[in-house]
Amino acid sequence: MLNTQTTNSLPTAEIITPAAPTSVPIGTPITFEGRGTDPDNDPITAYDWRDGSCGAGGTQLGTAALLSNIDTSTWSIGDHVINLRVTDSVGGPSVCDTVTITILPPPIPDLTIVSFTVPASFTKDTAADLSGVVRNSGGVTTGTGFSDNFTYRWSTTDPWQEFALKPHPALAPNGTVSDDTTFTPDRTGTLYLQYCADATGALNEGAAGEANNCLQRGPFNVTDSTSAKTATINATPCIIPSGSATCNTLITWTSANLRSPSIKQYSTEFATAASNNTGVTRSVTRSAGSPSDTFSVSDGATTIDQETVTPVCTGGDANWNGTTCDTGGPVTPGTPTLKASPRIVEEGKNTTLTWTTGGVTEDQCILKGGAFGSNGIAAVDGGSDQGGTIDTPVTANTTYTITCPAGGSSASVRVEVIPRYFPS
């Protein structure tokens, strides 16, 4: 008998999509497409997609030629070998075709230091500008805020000391933030600086992400300052109007190389700028217990320069009644007055001389006679005071004279001496 039975040829399975190994983050849908061909032209009647191994040992994903949007949210992280087997109408199974799918961890933020700019040198007690830029190199937003910081240390074995903390809101992928600060070394020596993103650890960046969060600079040799600290403070005359005890003065100042400038009226700070050439108006009130006020420029607790302001009445201190100024009428500029009390004294005892300058504000008035000699003494500083009093001993009949060059005028008073009385 003639045997007409033929041998069935096995079909071939082919994965069309994805055609090559592919990596996707966990949860990303994947589409699989395959096809089968048979050398005997038998139709393909079954498709079997498996994860892990071919046939019953693997996890079945589907039984169609096209599997659309397969959910990977429950897949494990790592490599998955996907197998496709086809079967023809005669029941012949193919050899499996495979493709590897790598499931990646979910994307996380990754803060990276882009730049950290510092000066080339540092000087003790001198502020230096620092700046830095941070980028989110991760594929997702940080989701929450974070803080960058600047730190320093004087040795590689010392702990880092924070001197500036910079908070920021959530940062989008590829977004950047900039930080600026100053650092003032308080000593000489070897200095190290560090700039860190997410210094407080608010974000989960993974081990690789955390590794690029900080950038160091140094060592730097901090030298001592060779520039002296200088300051000058000035005040305009403070003239009290009639009926008042208060006047205004304009305070101007300049300084150089001060670490912590402090401008004070007595002990009250009213400015911290290193210089002010325009001026700040300050009010000064005269009283019996406080005839003047002091303005100063300090560096921390050290006073560099000061100016004493003595309020005076319009027309001179003879118009001060102990509470307010009372001009009592106009005064001719440059026409001084001079009084003595008492005008008759026992030998060697004091008389009190009281004078006004008639509004002299630029030149000195000179008081001569008796203990003041022929050269005399300055009876007024034209920049502030315009009159005053002085006690002086009298040993002989004396004529005292005050002369004001600005007005070319003078005034005199004579004091008589009587023998000193000694009771028997």
CATH number of the structural domain spanning residue 147: 2.60.40.10
Domain shared by 296 and 339, yes or no? no
Ranges 168-177, 204-213, 246-255, most confident: 168-177
Whose tokens are 């197998």? That residue is 83
Q: Is residue 220 scored above 70 in pLDDT?
A: yes
Bridge partners for 271 per DSSP: 263
- Annotate 240-299 with DSSP letters as a single string: EPTT-SEEEEEEEEEEES-SSEEEEETTEEEE--S-EEEEEEEEEE--SS-S-EEEEEEE
Residue 329: per-residue pLDDT: 47
Sheet holding 176-183, edge to edge: 111-117, 128-136, 176-183
Domain shared by 286 and 244, yes or no? yes
Domain shared by 116 and 213, yes or no? yes
Number of domains in the chain: 4
Domain range for 400 is 331-418
Q: Is residue 332 scored above 70 in pLDDT?
A: no
Domain shared by 243 and 268, yes or no? yes
Last residue of a domain, one of 46, 80, 104: 104
Domain shared by 91 and 139, yes or no? no
* 171 within domain boundaries: yes
* 365 within domain boundaries: yes
Name the least confident of 39-53, 92-106, 250-264. 250-264
The more confident residue out of 172 and 334 is 172
Q: Is residue 374 scored above 70 in pLDDT?
A: no
- pLDDT-based confidence at residue 327 (cuts at 50, 70, 90): low
Domain shared by 135 and 209, yes or no? yes
Last residue of a domain, one of 196, 222, 248: 222
Question: Smallest Cα–Cα separation from 357: which of 374, 377, 381?
Answer: 381
Last residue of a domain, one of 255, 285, 313: 313
